[in-house]
A and B are shown apart, each in its own frame.
Chain A
Amino acid sequence: EAQVTQNPRYLITVTGKKLTVTCSQNMNHEYMSWYRQDPGLGLRQIYYSMNVEVTDKGDVPEGYKVSRKEKRNFPLILESPSPNQTSLYFCASSPTFDTGELFFGEGSRLTVL
């Protein structure tokens, strides 16, 4: 089944404890991206990767890192989480980004205490 898989789906952590949210897609997509969803704000892009050689910041990259060592994986790293990073996170992928149609994972709900 074609899908984007995120883990963990739910996580409660404390301020400053590094964590990684993994994202993997099995559709051989070039483009991958991370969004955060907050009430009243919709989805905002954190980072994106056009392919394994090109990764760049989105609109809200502060406090996050990503890596794209292989096509299928695009982990989101929070080096020192803070309470304002409490949010619902979505990974998305696309064959390229020409058409703009994204395939989303089911989300990772993160709470930072």
Chain B
Amino acid sequence: AQSVAQPEDQVNVAEGNPLTVKCTYSVSGNPYLFWYVQYPNRGLQFLLKYITGDNLVKGSYGFEAEFNKSQTSFHLKKPSALVSDSALYFCAVRPPFSGGYNKLIFGAGTRLAVHP
């Protein structure tokens, strides 16, 4: 079955330190990969995506993500965390055409807490 795993329910990091939020996926073929962020009482907002090309993609608010095909991972990173980055982060994949391409498959989410 196609799935997305975010192994950490919560990630705690001090402001100014680098952060990583992990994501692995189990989807056949070459899916599109996404990160979304959800602030309290708000809808999800698109952060970045990987379709093809350079394994390191840059997105909004200084976030970037590294695609690793052999490990089927797409970890979200930021060199220096801000308190305002505290939110719920979702990894998502869009299966290739033959595998149900009309939806995004979401992970369960990882809560990022950045402490002053």
Binding site for B on A (CB under 8 A): 4, 33, 35, 40-45, 48, 50, 56, 58-59, 90, 92, 97, 99-107
Taking the complex as formed, is B41 at the interface, i.e. its CB lies under 8 A from any CB of chain A? yes
Q: Pick out which of these stretches binds chain A: B61-69, B77-85, B97-105.
A: B97-105
Q: Tell me, in angstroms, the Cα distance from A106 to B106 when the chains sit together.
A: 17
Taking the complex as formed, is B25 at the interface, i.e. its CB lies under 8 A from any CB of chain A? no
Binding site for A on B (CB under 8 A): 4, 32, 34, 36, 41-46, 49, 51, 90, 92, 94, 101-104, 106-109
- Total A-B contacts with CB atoms under 8 angstroms apart: 59
Not counting A40-B108, A92-B44, A106-B43, a sample of 14 additional A-B residue pairs whose C-beta atoms are within 8 angstroms of each other reads A4-B43, A42-B4, A43-B92, A56-B102, A90-B44, A92-B43, A99-B49, A100-B94, A101-B34, A101-B49, A102-B36, A102-B44, A102-B104, A106-B41
Contacts of B4 in A (CB 8 A): 42
Tell me the minimal C-beta distance from A8 to chain B in angstroms.
14
Q: Is the CB of B45 within 8 A of A104?
A: yes
Q: Is the CB of A97 within 8 A of B43?
A: no
Contacts A99-B32, A99-B49, A101-B49 hold; do A50 and B102 have CB atoms under 8 A apart?
Answer: yes
Q: Tell me, in angstroms, the Cα distance from A48 to B108 when the chains sit together.
A: 20
Q: Tell me, in angstroms, the Cα distance from A90 to B49 when the chains sit together.
A: 20
Smallest Cβ-Cβ distance to A59: which chain B residue = B103
Contacts of A41 in B (CB 8 A): 108
Contacts of A100 in B (CB 8 A): 32, 34, 49, 92, 94, 104
Smallest Cβ-Cβ distance to A4: which chain B residue = B43
Smallest Cβ-Cβ distance to B43: which chain A residue = A104
Contacts A42-B4, A48-B102 hold; do A106 and B42 have CB atoms under 8 A apart?
Answer: yes
Tell me the minimal C-beta distance from B108 to chain A in angstroms.
4
